[in-house]
Structure 1
Amino acid sequence: MSDAQVRVLVIDDDAAARALHARFVSETPGFTVTAAAGTGMAAIELGSHGGVDLILLDLRLPDVSGIEVLHRLRTLGTHSPDVMIISSSRDQVTVRQALAGRVAGYLVKPFTYEALAERLSRYRAQHRPSDEAQTHAEREQELAQREIDELLSTGRVQVPSPTARSSSGLPKGIAEVTLRRVLAALDPVTAASASQVAEHASISRASARRYLEHLVSEGRADIAHRYGKRGRPEVLYRLAPDVAQL
């Protein structure tokens, strides 16, 4: 890619997230924000008229889905801008649909400036489309950021080996008693930070994050995020709906 600025269109239905992501892009050397919008139709219109090299595209939009936006943009052929997905959606079906649209990246929300800047820099250096070879393992299983990155580079997901779990059926390093306390600290309505969960469960913040990430990977907890006026988004956790505790 040349030394010219990469022109970026930011699409997100959340105004605070849209502003934050646009700021992240502006702070990354070699990138400039041409526009920001909150609907899929705006993404299609702005992306179709030229002047955009890369779209940061949220998948959950109020009018048409991000996947539909991606497919419509691809009908432009060589005039279609590149697309990098920024979304909280992590299920394999959605990720594979995005990969089929030859996305330049897939970044799970919420993310830090460093995470986005690293992917933008990699894109600017030289983007290589992902291999679309697929496996059929557990289509409904949610993916961690590491696994999504692996899909982008190889098109495959490595399903964790059963040997990675203890005799109780829990992953090694996850104790049932502590997991109960972490679950008890979560509420399906009010989101809590890792620090708040750690205090409630009487464990360290690092341990709380490990247990919370396990619950998210199992679909028993959901990630939320709070955008402040300044600084990075705060990651919050809440109990997933209709989850039965241990």
Structure 2
Amino acid sequence: NSFCTLLATGGASTPMSNSVVKIIVVGESAVGKTSIIHQFVERTFSADFKSTIGSDFSAKAVAIDDAIVNLQIWDTAGQERYRSLSTSYFKGCEAAIIVYDMTDANSFARVNHWFEEVKRSCNLTPSDVNGANRFPVFVVANKADLDGQRHVGRKEAQQVCTANGWESAECSAKYGDGVDTLFKSVAAKVVERRSRMPSDVARVASVGRVGGGSRRGAAAAEGSATNGGSQGGVGSRIPCCSKS
């Protein structure tokens, strides 16, 4: 299978060593949000589906150029009945990953709905959405290992993303293809965006926040940088809410 590979090139002037980047992952239920995160953080995959209730938080450090960036990855509920539990965790995020299932056209049709949810819950301004230094949004087709069952064309997805200023990518949570590249590309985009911000704004952003004021996640991210800190990094997962 071929994948849309996004090169992780940063080159930011803002110091990023041991900084924190909060990423929110959204999308319809059963598209593979949790599986993508588990593949990236833990190098595991389970075919058993369990709905996320509220939000789960995972952490992993990655190297971008010569800096260590601690990713806080927030996995949110796709089912409507759990959605109100998760939006409170959007605060302070610096990038969004919207996941759809390439074998399910309806999940792709809902991408714009999820973008509107990100805009509302992250309090994005018009300049965040349309400006030169816009908020990074990655629209990701999961299940690339099922390319023969594809119901969303690569060209169609790319056209929609280009029209909206989003990044387009594909990955396989099952086999890991494209997963590392995805998260490193997201981190690099945030680094690049911070480099264009006034220094005081970028400095505040680099501190990072955990929803609800908890410091558990930040400590986990710092620990992953201390123990790993390499390109692969070391991850940890902290459940914020129970699973059904």
TM-score, normalised on structure 2? 0.39
**Higher normalized strand content (fraction of residues):** 2
**Higher RCO (C-alpha under 8 Å, 6+ residues apart):** 2
| TM-score normalised by L of structure 1 | 0.39
